[in-house]
Structure 1
Amino acid sequence: METSAVPGLVRLSGRVREPAWLSMAALRSMPQRETTVRFECRKSGARRHYFTGPLLLDVLSAAGPMFDAAERKDRLRFVVSVLGEDGHRAVLSWGEIDPEFGNAAVLLAVAMDCRDLDGQGPHLVVPGDRCGARHISRVAAVRVGDDAGLWS
């Protein structure tokens, strides 16, 4: 997967109609959500942070995921893989973020604790996770995929 060498640029690719390089300004131009998360970090213990940014669902929907949006079951075949600049990866199912299913308010945060993340790039924020392992700092790439090939 191709990633960015410029902090703050995120490569959006995969099964989307409009792949793109997203800047922090582009992410800020989208409707913003706010959330406070608490999670356990294996290395630094309990953490609490306040984040602002667009919903991951809004970012991906703007790119035009390649499924039949009217067909619920078609959406459930899709996954979202997120890659940090340090190689840290996490995968979410489309069903987790879809309002008709899990409706998790997952963010691509542009600010943390009221400080802009322009020098770092966005963070993936998964509210509700007890462990911080799916929190990804310095997101470099987001890829949408489906289960094609898994059942052949």
Structure 2
Amino acid sequence: MSRPSAQPHIPAARLASLMVLGEVARPATLTVGELRTGWEQHRAEVVFDCAANGPQRHRFEGPLLREVVLDAQPLFDARRRKDRSRFALAVSGGDGHRTVLAWAEIDADFGDSPVLLATRLDGEDLDLTGCQLVVPADRCGARYVSAITRVRVGVWPQG
């Protein structure tokens, strides 16, 4: 994908980006603008509890995490549900905040949760600060990772 042309006043070096990597056939580095223009945008109006600031109400817009990761071609057999259910996604933010989701949470055959990589927060573009993970079903904001830098795809280790 090419750099977004919709915001020429922002130097490309200052645009926030994230990497989709790990057990994928097509690792990618994507800017927030590319996430906004390359995938269908979904909206989530959410309320979640923040330990530091109490209840938060926000409107997020962005592509589904599932669609962005599928575009990177995870190395699982898409026809086999048990193979897909072994995978996890580790999401890292620019501030060191990290969280993990099971692929089954977002897979349409399992939890089908509409988890977003938000490119807009309350109508404001996140091009400079970075996209945000939005887990609409969560009552707690702990998995709302801001300024995402990496989404690592991988098989859950055997125990």
What TM-score results when the alignment is normalised by the length of structure 2? 0.89
Structure 1 spans left out of the alignment, 5+ residues: none
Structure 2 spans left out of the alignment, 5+ residues: 1-12
Aligned to 1:133: 142
* Counterpart secondary structure, 1:74: helix
**Structure 2 residue 28 is the aligned partner of structure 1 residue 20:** yes
Rounded to whole Å, the distance in 2 between the matches of 1:147 and 1:47 is 32
Aligned to 1:112: 121
Rounded to whole Å, the distance in 2 between the matches of 1:25 and 1:74 is 32
* Counterpart secondary structure, 1:58: helix
Give me the identity figure in percent. Answer: 48
What RMSD, in angstroms, separates the aligned Cα atoms of the two structures? 1.2
Kept in 2, the 8 Å contact 1:7–1:138? The answer is: no
Aligned to 2:79: 70
* Counterpart secondary structure, 1:35: strand
**Structure 2 residue 92 is the aligned partner of structure 1 residue 50:** no
What TM-score results when the alignment is normalised by the length of structure 1? 0.93
Return the offset for 1:11: 1.2
Matches within 5 A, 1:84-103: 84-103=93-112
* Counterpart secondary structure, 2:60: strand
Partner of residue 145 from structure 1, selected from 131, 151, 154? 154
Kept in 1, the 8 Å contact 2:31–2:127? The answer is: no
* Counterpart secondary structure, 2:66: helix
Letter in 2 for 1:140: T
Kept in 2, the 8 Å contact 1:124–1:139? The answer is: yes
Rounded to whole Å, the distance in 2 between the matches of 1:18 and 1:55 is 18
**For residues 73 and 6 of structure 1, do their structure 2 counterparts lie closer, same or farther at Cα, with a shift above 3 Å needed?**
farther
Kept in 1, the 8 Å contact 2:15–2:32? The answer is: no
Rounded to whole Å, the distance in 2 between the matches of 1:37 and 1:125 is 9
Return the offset for 1:6: 5.3
* Counterpart secondary structure, 2:52: coil
**Runs of 4+ off more than 2 Å:** none
- Aligned pair count reads 146
Return the offset for 1:26: 1.5
